[in-house]
Structure 1
């Protein structure tokens, strides 16, 4: 490899770094939450599934990805509106799912 790094193939922008930093921050926050308040056991919500805190985080992140992809497909940029929709979706998932 002549002067290229192993990750040079990926478009590392500040937005990409912010995305991964957010995911890492979510995982750290969930770990701290579980250590400080154990007992995030399964509960049955509006989805009809037994979900834990980690399940709800995963469902929220997956839903946010679909919200952003749909927004990009149908509307385009800017992406502030799907960001707000994603946070609202995550709130609903953590509150009632």
Structure 2
């Protein structure tokens, strides 16, 4: 059993995973359109996308994460974010919303 599953089971929390992805083959060389980057909030408990933000560059994932957190009405939740989201401002926003979190470092 993983650490996250143990925490979720013990505390009866909903898990929201926030992650950014570059959409494969979303670029268009003829129109000089760059690849599409999307940051998604995923509810693992409900197997449902709760929100998405489109960003022009992978580096803008840092601006999309706070926008997603502000968008969601979250309570009794555990938010997980990978290394890209390990920022003081993002952590402060999560704490301000009184939500538990796991930030993964590589």
Name the TM tier (shorter chain): under 0.3
Query: Higher helix share goes to which structure?
Result: 1
Give the alignment's TM-score, normalised by structure 1. 0.26
Query: Of the two, which has the highest radius of gyration?
Result: 1
- Going by fraction, where is strand more abundant, 1 or 2? 2
Normalising to structure 2: TM-score of the pair?
A: 0.25
